[in-house]
């Protein structure tokens, strides 16, 4: 503090501005600093300015005693204009003072003095202030650290909670993504992982359910086939024995042979359809690809079933806007459409109406074939499994008891083998089965 005031006073004095120095001196007095500015010429000393006065207006310090002291210790010889000031510890205890001596110019000297008690008081206040400031800074730092750490640890706690739930197959918890830093990226990655795991697990569950459903249908199928094969085999055995034993007339034996042939053809047809489906699903079936009119396929199948449609008194129509060319295996596509038409004939209700439409599909470059039959709406459960092998609709809907649930499964395998699409949906007072193939331009 004394050094600072010494620089301030020396600068003000050398500025030759008489109005600048008095305020600086008064400021020193408020800081409990005594000031002497004196001039020394040829061993004569004159006090020019001081700030600490008694009630009589004289300096509080005995200037004569002070001057004799500094002369005896040769202080003036040790100073130089603008040089390093000399600092002295007067008396050396808490009742003494700290003194500073400096030379401003050739004849002007500056003396500063402040009591040690004042310095110690200021130091104590400064120490207390430092302690309080440190405590405040520490508390503020702890509060700031708490909030900052909370912002960091809270997402981590949420991530941990989400990870634990994911490990228990609970995907309801989401990690909050509140930033773009590493924690935010980790949260986003865990959310993506959770979504993918949930999707894959759902797919796996559906596959398992489908597999279980398929196995159940296979068991039912084998039971039904065993039962249905038992009757024709029993008939074949019975009528064969009758012929062997020469029972009945010639006309009756001829009838026995017709029954044996009919039952054999029924079993042969079923085995053929089952082998066909197996080849299609295993990828072993080969397609004889060619370009042909899908209109011709529809017309041929309708013609082949015309007598059956008339016998069942079914009213049918075929609607088409143009002739459309597709590429595929003619025989296989014919079989696929045959299965759709026979399914419509089998499940048509008492209104006995079937409509076939050929038109360009909504998707560009596709030709669609749509088969409508009047019928009550299909339940969602039926729509999910209609194209599965061995699946049979409720017999209360008019299903033929000789159906083995292979027709629509073969249809699905044929269309899938041609990279086509297929489906079923309900409309007013009926059901529509459909498939689409790529349109070809010749």
Class of domain 182-281: mainly alpha
Can you give the pLDDT at residue 341? 95
Instruction: Give the mean pLDDT of 252-264.
Output: 86
> For the chain, what are the domain ranges?
2-121, 182-281, 286-440
Instruction: Give the mean pLDDT of 224-234.
Output: 72
Average of per-residue pLDDT values in the chain: 81
Residue 290: partners with Cβ closer than 8 Å, 6 or more residues away: 327, 328, 329, 330
Of the listed ranges 299-303, 374-378, 380-384, 408-412, the least confidently predicted one is 380-384
The percent of residues in the chain predicted with pLDDT above 90, rounded, is 22
DSSP E strands: which ranges in 75-164? 86-90, 97-103, 108-115
Which CATH fold topology does 2-121 show?
A: Beta-Lactamase (3.30.450)
∠ CA 160-161-164 to the nearest 5 degrees?
Answer: 85
What are the pLDDT digits (tens) for 318-350? 999 899 999 999 999 999 999 999 999 999 999
Burial class of residue 317, CB neighbours in 10 A (0-12, 13-18, 19+): exposed
Tell me: pLDDT of 65 over 70. no
Instruction: Give the mean pLDDT of 384-397.
Output: 66
DSSP string covering 31-82, please?
A: TT-EEEEEEEETTEEEEEEES-B-TTSSBSS-HHHHHHHHHHTTTGGG--BT
Answer yes or no: are the C-beta atoms of 340 and 302 closer than 8 Å: no
The CB density around residue 413, as the number of other CB atoms within 10 Å, is: 23
Residue 435 confidence class, pLDDT cut points 50, 70, 90 = very high
Cα→Cα distances 215→205, 212, 221, 323, 394, Å:
15, 5, 9, 43, 19
Answer yes or no: are the C-beta atoms of 2 and 112 closer than 8 Å: yes
Instruction: Give the mean pLDDT of 103-116.
Output: 82
Cα→Cα distances 135→149, 228, 291, Å:
20, 95, 92
pTM > 0.75: no
Residue 371 confidence class, pLDDT cut points 50, 70, 90 = very high
The CA distance from 326 to 293, in Å, is: 6
The CB density around residue 227, as the number of other CB atoms within 10 Å, is: 9
Of the listed ranges 52-56, 161-165, 232-236, 299-303, the least confidently predicted one is 52-56
- Phi/psi for 157 (5° steps) reads -65, -40
3-state helix, strand, coil in the chain (%, to 5): 55, 20, 25
Can you give the pLDDT at residue 37? 82
The residue whose two tokens read 């074949």 is 236
What are the pLDDT digits (tens) for 280-293? 766 667 778 899 99
The percent of residues in the chain predicted with pLDDT above 70, rounded, is 83
Q: Which two tokens stand for residue 419?
A: 């990279």
Residue 221 confidence class, pLDDT cut points 50, 70, 90 = low
Instruction: Give the mean pLDDT of 358-387.
Output: 88
Tell me: pLDDT of 211 over 80. yes
Which CATH number does the domain 286-440 belong to among 3.30.565.10, 3.30.1360.120, 1.25.40.10, 3.40.190.10?
3.30.565.10
DSSP-based three-state secondary structure for 378: coil
Tell me: pLDDT of 297 over 90. yes
Can you give the pLDDT at residue 398? 39
């Amino acid at each position: 503090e004394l050094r600072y005031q010494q620089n301030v006073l020396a600068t003000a004095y050398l500025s030759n501005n008489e109005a600048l120095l008095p305020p600086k001196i008064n400021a020193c007095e408020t800081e409990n600093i005594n000031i002497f500015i004196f001039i020394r010429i040829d061993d004569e000393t004159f006090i020019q300015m001081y700030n600490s006065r008694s009630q009589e207006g004289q300096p509080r310090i005995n200037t004569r005693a002070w001057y004799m002291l500094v002369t005896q210790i040769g202080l003036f010889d040790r100073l130089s204009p603008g040089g390093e000031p000399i600092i002295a510890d007067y008396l050396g205890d808490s009742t003494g003072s700290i003194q500073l001596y400096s030379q401003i110019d050739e004849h002007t000297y500056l003396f500063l003095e402040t009591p040690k008690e004042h310095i110690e008081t200021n130091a104590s206040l400064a120490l207390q202030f430092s302690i309080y400031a440190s405590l405040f800074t520490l508390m503020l730092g702890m509060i700031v650290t708490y909030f900052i750490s909370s912002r960091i640890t809270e997402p981590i706690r949420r991530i941990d909670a989400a990870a634990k739930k994911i490990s228990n197959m609970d995907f309801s918890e989401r990690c909050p993504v509140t930033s773009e830093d590493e924690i935010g990226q980790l949260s986003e990655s865990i959310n993506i992982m959770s979504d993918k795991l949930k999707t894959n697990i759902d797919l796996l569950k559906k596959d398992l359910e489908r597999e279980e459903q398929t196995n159940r249908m296979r068991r039912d199928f084998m039971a039904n086939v065993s039962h249905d094969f038992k009757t024709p085999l029993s008939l074949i055995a019975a009528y064969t024995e009758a012929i062997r034993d020469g029972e009945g007339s010639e006309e009756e034996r001829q009838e026995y042979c017709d029954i044996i042939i009919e039952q054999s053809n029924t079993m042969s047809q079923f085995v053929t359809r089952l082998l066909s489906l197996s080849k299609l699903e295993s990828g072993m079936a080969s397609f004889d690809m060619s370009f042909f009119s899908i209109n011709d396929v529809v017309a041929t199948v309708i013609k082949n079933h015309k007598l059956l449609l008339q016998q069942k008194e079914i009213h049918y129509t075929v609607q088409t806007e143009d002739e459309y060319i597709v590429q595929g295996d003619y025989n296989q596509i014919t079989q696929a459409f045959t299965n759709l038409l026979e399914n419509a004939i089998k499940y048509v209700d008492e209104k006995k109406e079937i409509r076939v439409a050929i038109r360009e599909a909504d998707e560009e470059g596709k030709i669609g074939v749509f088969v409508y039959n009047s019928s009550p709406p299909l339940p969602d459960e039926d729509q999910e499994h209609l194209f599965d092998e061995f699946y049979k609709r409720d017999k209360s809907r008019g299903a033929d008891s000789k159906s083995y649930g292979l027709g629509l499964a073969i249809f699905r395998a044929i269309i899938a083998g041609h990279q086509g699409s297929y489906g079923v949906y309900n409309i007013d007072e009926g059901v529509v089965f459909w498939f689409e193939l790529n349109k070809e331009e010749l």
